[in-house]
Amino acid sequence: MIEVSGLTKRYRDITAIEDLTFQVSKGEVLGFLGPNGSGKSTTMRILTGFQPATSGTVKVAGFDVFEQPLEVKKRVGYLPENPPLYPDMTIRAYLRFVADLKGVPRKQIRDEVDRVARAAHVDHVMDRLIANVSKGYKQRVGIAQALIGSPDILILDEPTVGLDPSQILEVRDLIRSFKGKHTIILSTHIMQEVVATCDSVLVIARGRLRARDTLESLQQKHPGKSLEEIFLELTSNVRTEPGEQSQAA
């Protein structure tokens, strides 16, 4: 479903990601792990067509992200770390607006908005202003907009950041409910998030690939260590090259 080969992004003399190569199978829920500043968000933005790469190739559902960006965007639902919400709009008006932007036929917009609202469990607050709902509900609205158009792939960048413990559990349950319906990449640096929702993991540090495996296999390769200890081991021994910036997005 997703094929990434030799993906590199440089900002003049700063390397955000370097030579990333990996694949994501249809229906897989992949945890995209890395410390803050490891290059996760940069990679997400490139995969979704919101940012160009310096070199490398990315194919989504067989379409080249750089050559056929509109075809890719039709098949990807994207939740950035900071959802692109308009606080002065009601949730209903906002989701209708996004549905129109995504090219949902006018006659189908009402049904599509109702569908994603039910899926994200915001159907009971549709006429409230986005400014007046909790951060947890704002995240749900962000997920709802990503679901519009029934995309094959969901890319979720830090979907529980800033939430309280109850809200985190609610969003994790919501993501789990999408298993089998979408291919999902969940970008996070929280190990509990991965254990709760993912089938496999991809670990990067300072823009470089450190591991790509199932959780079970990763633990077998590091016997006697917790997932947190494995993560620290994988991400703490990465060399910094001249001109590299460890604080890349």
CATH code for the domain of 209: 3.40.50.300
Give yes or no for a contact between 190 and 24, defined as CB atoms under 8 angstroms apart: no
| pLDDT the model gives residue 83 | 86
Q: What is the pTM of this model?
A: 0.86
Residue 161 lies in a domain: no
| Residue type present at position 165 | P
Residue 31 lies in a domain: yes
| pLDDT the model gives residue 36 | 83
Residue 150 lies in a domain: no
> Whose CA is closest to 187, among 85, 22, 36, 9?
36
Distance CA 200, CA 9 (A): 24
Per residue in 151-164, pLDDT tens?
A: 999 999 988 888 88
Please give the average per-residue pLDDT across 98-110, as a whole number: 95
| pLDDT the model gives residue 55 | 95
Residue 65 lies in a domain: yes
Contacts of 105 (CB under 8 A, 6+ apart): none
Distance CA 93, CA 48 (A): 24
Q: Is residue 16 classed as helix, strand or coil in its secondary structure?
A: strand
Copy the structure tokens of residue 165.
Answer: 């413990």
| Mean pLDDT of the chain, nearest integer | 89
Instruction: Mark out the alpha helices in the chain (DSSP H runs).
Output: 40-47, 69-74, 91-101, 109-119, 135-147, 165-176, 191-197, 215-221, 227-236
| Residue type present at position 200 | S
pLDDT level of residue 228 (50, 70, 90 thresholds): confident
Query: Does residue 74 surpass a pLDDT of 60?
Result: yes
| pLDDT the model gives residue 242 | 37
Please give the average per-residue pLDDT across 209-228, as a whole number: 90
Residue 124 lies in a domain: no
Listed ranges 113-117, 119-123, 133-137, 218-222; the one with the highest mean pLDDT: 113-117
Q: Report percent pLDDT > 90 for the chain.
A: 60
Query: Does residue 249 surpass a pLDDT of 50?
Result: no
Residue 117 lies in a domain: no
pLDDT level of residue 247 (50, 70, 90 thresholds): very low
Give yes or no for a contact between 104 and 148, defined as CB atoms under 8 angstroms apart: yes
- Which residues span the domain enclosing 226? 1-75+179-249
pLDDT level of residue 32 (50, 70, 90 thresholds): very high
Please give the average per-residue pLDDT across 50-72, as a whole number: 93
Residue 128 lies in a domain: no
Number of compact structural domains in the chain: 1
| pLDDT the model gives residue 237 | 62
Listed ranges 88-102, 188-202, 219-233; the one with the highest mean pLDDT: 88-102
| pLDDT the model gives residue 243 | 42
Residue 206 lies in a domain: yes
Per residue in 164-197, pLDDT tens?
A: 888 888 888 888 888 888 999 999 878 888 888 8
